[in-house]
Amino acid sequence: AATMLAQDVWTIAVLGGFAIAVMLVCWKEFKLLSFDPDFGQTLGYRMRAIDVLLTSVLVISIVIGLQTVGVVLMSAMVVAPASAARQWTNRLGGMVVLAGLFGALAGVSGAVISSTTSRVPTGPTIVLCLTLIVLVSLSFAPGRGVVWEWARHQRNRRRLLTGAVLDDLYVLAGQHEGIRHAHPVGTLEAMRGGVGDVVRSLDELSRQGLAKQSGEGGWEITQAGFDHAASRSATRDEDED
């Protein structure tokens, strides 16, 4: 930013505004070109001309960024905002808006950090800020982020283990007269082969009213749990048939 003059800022503002205006006016045509150019051709659109126009807008965007981040780092400015935005939405319109916001946020943040810190170049700082945005998006975006996927995997794993422990209690109840028979945690852990947190699953079953802890320290299935496990067993038998 230290090498940019006021004239450069005005040039970037004018060309950037022109590119945004073209995107707004030709939004429908650009979508047709991106996803189904053959269909656009059958509707009578001159897809070749639209392709040239979209490429021109992209070239303008690259040119106005060269003064800020340079030739090499500009490739990151083209790709990274869209990559980050894609993690947060499945809608093209929302993705374009988010990509613009992410790019603007990275540009402002990088410029501020560079101007307030000595011997820190603006271009690489902007790209580093953008990289941070991409990493946060890849990690925490709902439905797509790595952390989100890990949390969902853990929830599914706990749910499966809880169901398996309930099935074990159901099997043990069937081996005794009635369901009022407590079973040690060690027995349930042995039935699970030592895999998973059986105690946590028992606590979850207790909260759901499907199992309860007896006075002897063991666990027994409740009537509601017995009925639920019986229904699960019947469903599995039907699926196997």
Q: What is the C-alpha end-to-end distance of the chain, expressed in Å?
A: 71
Q: Which residues pair with 219 in a beta bridge?
A: 183, 213
Do residues 140 and 152 share a domain? no
Q: Do both 115 and 199 map to the same domain?
A: no
Calculated CA dihedral for residues 223, 226, 232, 238, nearest 10 degrees: -110
Question: On the CB side of 73, how many CA atoms lie within 13 Å of its CA?
Answer: 21
Last residue of a domain, one of 93, 114, 144: 144
Q: Is residue 1 situated within a structural domain?
A: no
CATH number of the domain residue 192 falls in? 1.10.10
**Would you say residue 216 lies in a domain?**
yes
Residue 120 and residue 204 share a domain: no
Separation CA 113–CA 106 (nearest Å)? 10
Whether residues 166 and 94 share a domain: the answer is no
The whole-number pLDDT of residue 13 equals 85
pLDDT of residue 241: 56
Same domain, 116 and 157: no
216-220-226 Cα angle (round to 5)? 170
In this structure, the answer to whether residues 159 and 115 fall within a common structural domain is no
Clarify whether residues 126 and 168 are in a common domain: no
Phi, psi of 209 (to 5 degrees): 75, 20
| Structural domain span for residue 101 | 6-144
* Last residue in a domain, options 83, 117, 144: 144
Indicate the number of domains in the chain: 2
Write out the two tokens for 118.
């000595």
Q: Examine the domain organization and report whether 168 and 131 are in the same domain.
A: no
Residues linked to residue 221 through DSSP beta bridges, in sequence order:
211
Q: Which of 115, 144, 173 is the last residue of a domain?
A: 144
pTM of the model: 0.71
In a domain, 32, yes or no: yes
Query: Which structure tokens are listed for 68?
Result: 């800020």
d(CA 125, CA 114): 7
pLDDT score at 24: 92
**Cβ neighbours of residue 197 closer than 8 Å, sequence gap 6 or more:** 158, 161
- 129 and 214 in a single domain? The answer is no
Among all chains, which residue has been given the structure tokens 């067993």? Answer: 233
pLDDT in tens, the chain (241 residues): 445 567 777 888 888 899 899 999 999 999 999 999 999 999 999 999 999 999 999 988 888 877 777 777 888 888 999 999 999 999 999 999 999 999 989 988 988 888 888 888 878 888 899 999 999 999 999 888 899 899 989 899 889 989 999 998 888 888 876 677 888 888 888 888 766 688 888 889 999 999 998 877 788 889 998 889 888 888 876 766 5
